[in-house]
């Protein structure tokens, strides 16, 4: 009886407490009600504190109200190792080794939105397990020049392809209660002078080329965060750019998430207040330097902002809008009751990375059917090249990873060949050693002398004794190659690789060249080498994925997400003489004619075209048929065609739809990608591929009118296996 009385008394005391649970803590309440309830409970100091970092990768919550901190992690290829609270050195944890996923160029080369969804879901699970609620990625800046050191983090040269691939990536990440922070908004198309270069570009090019993937990320992907770029546009830094953040992102696109600065990308308190920035990170010095200083209270959106608010010089309602956005982020992520637990470093994630890598590898050339290699006919395989053994998950800037493991190309080849075939390795060329700066106390290695001639001679002599030579080269993530903060100096391969390849193929005609990179490279030896493979930076399972393609376990189905020009001056940014600008401004004279659009206009033959990629089987395209010959603006048009696997191997083909509008009031590209389907076909199988063309696919941006328009007239739907290999076409009229 006494026990029941005590329980009843406790219940009587607790019941009012339960009845008074704040709305912001009620996960069943509407999101905006929770946001408003939390906002009205916060002090001015608590609001301002949420706007800026408290450590290298975190920002404060509101402990008094039980609102947690925000924790960011660099991406988008894996969850970065923990760093010390106030330093860039690694924290030396023993349980933060991630699965390294392929670079985003490899994902884009798969031309498969299902792979983007798998990628996002997998990396989102890794971020969630590590209790990160913001993943700093993916990147969707357009590939304008092959010299951009950060192209490997992006999704190629075409806005339609990038848009189609970024949406499922974002959705996959965010289903884990982790915000995708899409970057770098906008026009960050070179690393040289990136912290201040002012981009001068037409409104038409801005809206047709450089913004569509960001718009898709917001309006279709539902991204919860966007990161500003370092560069300037309209003479304002993009991290606090009135036009980009206030007018385009928040007003026109209806973005209700958080605008985050890149680390060190903020330069002015008043501009940050007025021009749409919500969260500031990395401002101490430039946010990138080594060393430590507790400078967080001196950030532009910290004490300087608070003083303006207290003196009445700043409007608190502007502050409230910023805080609302951050609260939405918290309620969508860390305080979401449906947030799963995630998983980290699992075999399932490794398998996902391998599958993405296998679908993204591109067979560029295969004369004499040198590939796939038949191990039953081999006695000796020679592997040549530093990239066969060099770790590619480290370096490159903020995407550098502490991977749980990394299978090198040499290890993958050796494992697949087994004991039946002798696999030997010689280096052939060597790059200067680079310091790995993730470990405190790391010392720069002493300079070493590289005898390129001796290395080359050794490789050539070995090549004469092998049945086949696998040269594994390309770029790497050293500064000046594929690396944040610097651009490449030239289109040619570094470290005298071109000389080595030319000598190898003379010594052994059965030489296969594998290019590991995130950029196009020149190939002066292309006519002599029978087989060429683009293998990208493919993460933890890179070696196994490459071996699977080389030995025919996987039929390659990747397609290039950007053009390989034969010469640097064939690229629009360089032909127009724009790149890299004069140190203060860079003018985009190539305008809307980026990538294949430029080569089409100038009638220049590429080395390898956008969308190009071969298979170990053969595909036949039938005649395209339009559902009707005339449509109105309110209609959609269906175009169908049969595609058959006419070879003896199962395989996949990416069928690409381009639209041509030859007569318009403004100049238009010869053709533009407006659809693609990746079709998996068994040997001998035929399928009907269907495309739906809507009004948007026919439209262009009229900068004089400030609107998208589709002009009546005749159009063509062009369908092919690349931008340079159109198989069938059909005309129709927009009335």
Token pair for 311: 């003196």
SS (H, E, C) 519-579: CCCCCCCCCCCCEEEECCCCHHHHHHHHHHHHCCCCCCCCCCCCCECCCHHHCHHHHCCCC
Give the C-alpha separation, 255 to 482, whole Å: 32
Token pair for 148: 């951009």
Give the C-alpha separation, 652 to 615, whole Å: 8
Burial zone of 535 (CB within 10 Å; 0-12 exposed, 13-18 middle, 19+ buried): buried
Q: Residue 580, Cα to own-chain centre: how many angstroms?
A: 22
The residues, any chain, with a CB within 8 Å of residue 665's CB and separated by 6 or more, are: 702, 711
Nearest to 253 by CA among 216, 224, 279, 206: 216
Give the C-alpha separation, 536 to 115, whole Å: 16
Give the C-alpha separation, 703 to 199, whole Å: 17
Residue whose pair of structure tokens reads 């990147």 in the numeric block: 139
The residues, any chain, with a CB within 8 Å of residue 536's CB and separated by 6 or more, are: 102, 103, 105, 106, 109, 152, 357, 360, 361, 516, 517, 518
Q: Which of 262, 438, 591, 661 is catalytic?
A: 262
570 in active site = no
Nearest to 622 by CA among 602, 646, 606, 643: 643
Burial zone of 291 (CB within 10 Å; 0-12 exposed, 13-18 middle, 19+ buried): exposed
Q: What is the DSSP string of 113-171?
A: HHHHHHHHHHHHHHHHHTT-SEEE--B------TT-TTGGGS--S-HHHHHHHHHHHHH
Whether the CB-CB separation of 613 and 557 falls below 8 Å is answered with yes
Q: 180 φ, ψ to 5°?
A: -85, 125
Token pair for 704: 């004089």
Active site residues per annotation:
262
């Amino acid at each position: 009886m006494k026990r029941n009385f005590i329980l009843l008394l406790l219940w009587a005391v607790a019941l009012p407490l339960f009845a008074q649970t704040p709305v912001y803590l009620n996960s069943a309440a509407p999101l905006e009600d929770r946001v408003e309830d939390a906002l009205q409970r916060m002090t001015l100091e608590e609001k301002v504190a949420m706007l800026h970092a408290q450590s290298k990768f975190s920002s404060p919550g509101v402990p008094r109200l039980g609102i947690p901190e925000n924790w960011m992690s660099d991406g988008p290829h894996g969850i970065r190792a923990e760093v010390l609270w106030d330093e860039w050195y690694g924290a030396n944890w023993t349980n933060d080794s991630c699965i390294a996923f392929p670079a985003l160029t490899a994902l884009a080369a798969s031309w498969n939105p299902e792979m983007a969804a798998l990628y996002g879901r997998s990396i989102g699970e890794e971020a969630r397990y590590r209790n990160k609620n913001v993943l700093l990625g993916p990147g969707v800046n357009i590939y304008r020049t092959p010299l951009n050191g950060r192209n490997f983090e992006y999704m190629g040269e075409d806005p339609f392809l990038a848009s189609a691939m970024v949406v499922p990536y974002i959705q996959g990440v965010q289903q884990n209660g982790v915000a995708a922070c899409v970057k770098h908004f906008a026009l960050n198309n070179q690393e040289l002078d990136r912290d201040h270069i002012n981009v001068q570009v037409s409104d038409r090019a801005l809206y047709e080329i450089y913004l569509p993937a960001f718009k898709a990320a917001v309006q279709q992907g539902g991204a919860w965060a966007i990161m500003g770029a370092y560069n300037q546009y309209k003479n304002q830094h993009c991290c606090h750019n009135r036009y980009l953040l206030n007018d385009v992102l928040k007003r026109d696109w209806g973005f209700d998430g958080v605008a985050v600065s890149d680390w060190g990308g903020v330069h002015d308190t008043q501009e940050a207040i007025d021009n749409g920035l919500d969260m500031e990170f990395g401002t101490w010095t430039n946010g990138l330097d080594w060393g430590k200083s507790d400078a967080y209270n001196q950030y532009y959106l910290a004490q300087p902002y608070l003083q303006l608010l207290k003196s009445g010089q700043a409007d608190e309602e502007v502050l409230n809008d910023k805080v609302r956005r951050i609260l939405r982020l918290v309620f969508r992520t860390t305080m979401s009751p449906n947030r799963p637990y995630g998983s980290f470093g699992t075999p399932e994630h490794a398998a996902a990375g391998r599958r993405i890598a296998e679908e993204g590898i591109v067979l560029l050339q295969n004369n004499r059917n040198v590939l796939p290699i038949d191990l039953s006919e081999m006695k000796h395989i020679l592997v040549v090249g530093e990239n066969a053994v060099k770790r590619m998950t480290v370096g490159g800037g903020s995407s550098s990873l502490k991977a749980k493991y990394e299978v090198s190309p040499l290890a993958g080849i050796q494992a697949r060949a087994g004991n039946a075939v002798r696999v030997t390795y010689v280096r052939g060329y060597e790059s200067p050693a680079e310091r790995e700066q993730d470990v405190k106390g790391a010392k720069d290695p002493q300079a070493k002398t590289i005898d390129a001639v001796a290395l080359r001679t050794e490789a050539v002599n070995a090549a004469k004794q092998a049945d086949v030579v696998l040269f594994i080269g390309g770029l790497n993530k050293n500064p000046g190659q594929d690396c944040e903060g610097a651009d490449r100096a030239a289109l040619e391969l570094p470290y005298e690789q071109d000389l080595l390849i030319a000598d190898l193929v003379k010594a052994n005609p059965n030489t296969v060249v594998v290019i590991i990179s995130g950029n196009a490279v020149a190939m002066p030896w292309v006519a002599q080498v029978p087989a060429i493979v683009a293998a990208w930076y493919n993460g933890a399972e890179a070696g196994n994925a490459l071996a699977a393609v080389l030995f025919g376990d996987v039929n390659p189905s990747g397609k290039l997400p950007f053009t390989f020009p034969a010469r640097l001056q064939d690229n629009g940014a360089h032909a127009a003489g724009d790149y890299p600008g004069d140190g203060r401004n860079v003018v985009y004279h190539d305008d809307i004619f980026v990538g294949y659009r430029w080569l089409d206009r100038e009638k220049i033959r590429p080395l390898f075209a956008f969308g190009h990629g071969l298979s170990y089987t053969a595909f036949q395209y039938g005649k395209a048929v339009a559902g009707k010959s005339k449509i109105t603006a309110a209609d959609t048009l269906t175009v169908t065609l049969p595609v058959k696997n006419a070879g003896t191997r199962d395989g996949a083909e990416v069928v690409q739809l381009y639209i041509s509008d030859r007569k318009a009031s403004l100049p238009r590209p010869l053709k533009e990608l407006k659809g693609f389907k990746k079709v998996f076909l068994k040997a001998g199988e035929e399928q009907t591929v269907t495309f739906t063309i809507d009004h948007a696919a026919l439209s262009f941006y009229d900068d004089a009118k400030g609107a998208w328009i589709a002009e009546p007239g005749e159009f063509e739907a062009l369908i092919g296996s690349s931008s340079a290999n159109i198989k069938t076409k059909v005309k129709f009229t927009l009335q």
